[in-house]
A and B are shown apart, each in its own frame.
Chain A
């Protein structure tokens, strides 16, 4: 190839293909295991309370990142919360339109530190705003596997009004 020639396709150049052949297998961990087993079997959200900071982390964590206490007090927390922020995805990773858009929110729970990122759903055309009260909708018990998708989505809380 001459100096002033231009190739805009790297497939025309000498090339080598390769990949890094690894997959992964993760554990949920000490606290994660308790959280997901409880979600699957009892359909509730579990947090851990830090006795020195007096904060309750949800989802449950094994340690307090601030005071570095090992957290051993597991407490159920209410499964309805507040939309802290939200977004609607209108295109997927390949640029294809998503219709209806996927609505994702960061949901906080009263009296708790942390929160969950999850889908928002409800009646078709349902709209959401920051500050909305929402409640957890679970999959049927038999379909739950002990993962974050055991939660179908969060929908407007019963009796909530803007």
Chain B
């Protein structure tokens, strides 16, 4: 394809918290500073900057990217913002990738930030207007309702039980106990999850990720720069992204075909023909417990309706054959929207370098896949990484 190889050579992140004292700029700065320090680079070494951040309404700053520019190291550099809803965090490194793969730049800082605590009384308010203003909004839907419809359809199609879905919350919140930046790590049980409040049947409170403040940053480099900078570059082997129809009633909600399309694009580029065998570690997007399962299927890590069994059998556990969300995911680490997606890429970076500390998966993982999803349940963004 005439594209150059691109590696991730540094990563940094802030803690994910309910309400940060730091301004959005300051959060961006802390993550960016850490990412630069991790590969012993300075801002002078950076050719361009990509910022990913979700709606302006969260931070309460219109044209938020321009506001965040100096905290992301973007002053005086070629700087762009991208925004594809919840999929942003995995799209931002894709944009960074094509900046370098194209031959235009040798280094790129990729920064994602979200400060959802600014949004009052709750960031849900910003989501109310994503629905069609003539056919849907008059009914007063909120995000939980549509996820509940999707989850119910998924359960119905495959005969999946609530217990099987609650097991995802147990796994991910447990994994997050080992993440120093996590907001909601805890040891919990299926019983506890099912005893939590029903928000919109079948969605229970403990199956939903929290709202969070936080930032994550990566340093991307061309092969030549990467090999000079570190003995352990982590390559971006494949990227894919798609957008499905916004008429969400024309999709059968049981299966995320937009994830499959994006995954096929990324796998083709990465030479992955049997994802269930060739992928060692996965970070599917898990803002809701059922979503990790749904997305594992879209990523073709198992057959349709098979994901709950993999969780039940311990295959997706940190020490299992195919660890899924070893970071703790959005359910455990937290969900500052764009930053949460980039956290998944950072997790693969640390895991594939063997630097994930207490979260390190055993063996020597060679290939990882991370994915995010968003907009009106219609965007899929996928990155395949290799040690």
Contacts and interface: CB of A to CB of B under 8 A. Distances in A.
Interface of A: 16, 18, 20-33, 62-63, 65-68, 70
Contacts of B43: 66-68
A18 B133 contact: yes
14 contacts: A18-B129, A22-B57, A22-B60, A22-B126, A24-B120, A26-B60, A27-B23, A28-B23, A29-B26, A62-B29, A63-B26, A63-B33, A65-B75, A70-B33
Nearest to B128: A21
A22 B26 contact: no
A29 B20 CA distance: 8
Contacts of B129: 18, 20
Given A20-B57, A20-B126, A26-B118, 12 more contacts: A27-B20, A27-B23, A27-B118, A29-B22, A30-B22, A32-B23, A63-B26, A63-B71, A65-B70, A68-B36, A68-B73, A70-B29
Nearest to A27: B21
A67 B125 contact: no
B222 interface: no
B42 A31 contact: no
Contacts of A16: 133-134, 137-138
Contacts of A70: 29, 33
A29 B21 contact: yes
Interface string B66-95: 000011010100000000000000000000
B57 to A, nearest CB: 5
Contacts, number: 77
Q: In which size bucket is the chain B interface?
A: 20 to 34
Nearest to A70: B33
A23 B121 contact: yes
B26 A30 contact: yes
Interface in B135-164: 137-138
B183 interface: no
B55 to A, nearest CB: 9
A68 B70 CA distance: 9
Interface of B: 19-23, 25-26, 29, 32-33, 36, 42-43, 57, 60, 70-71, 73, 75, 117-121, 123, 125-126, 128-129, 133-134, 137-138
B41 to A, nearest CB: 10
Contacts of B128: 20-21
Given A67-B42, A68-B32, A22 B137 contact: no
B60 A66 contact: no
B21 A22 contact: no
A89 B70 CA distance: 30
Contact of A63 (B29, B60, B118, B134): B29
Nearest to A65: B70
Contacts of B60: 22, 24-26
Nearest to B69: A65
B125 A22 contact: yes
A26 B128 CA distance: 22
A6 B105 CA distance: 53
Nearest to A67: B43
Contact of B118 (A24, A32, A62): A24
Nearest to B74: A65
B123 to A, nearest CB: 8
A26 B134 CA distance: 33
Nearest to A62: B26
Contacts of B121: 23
B113 to A, nearest CB: 13
B26 A31 contact: yes
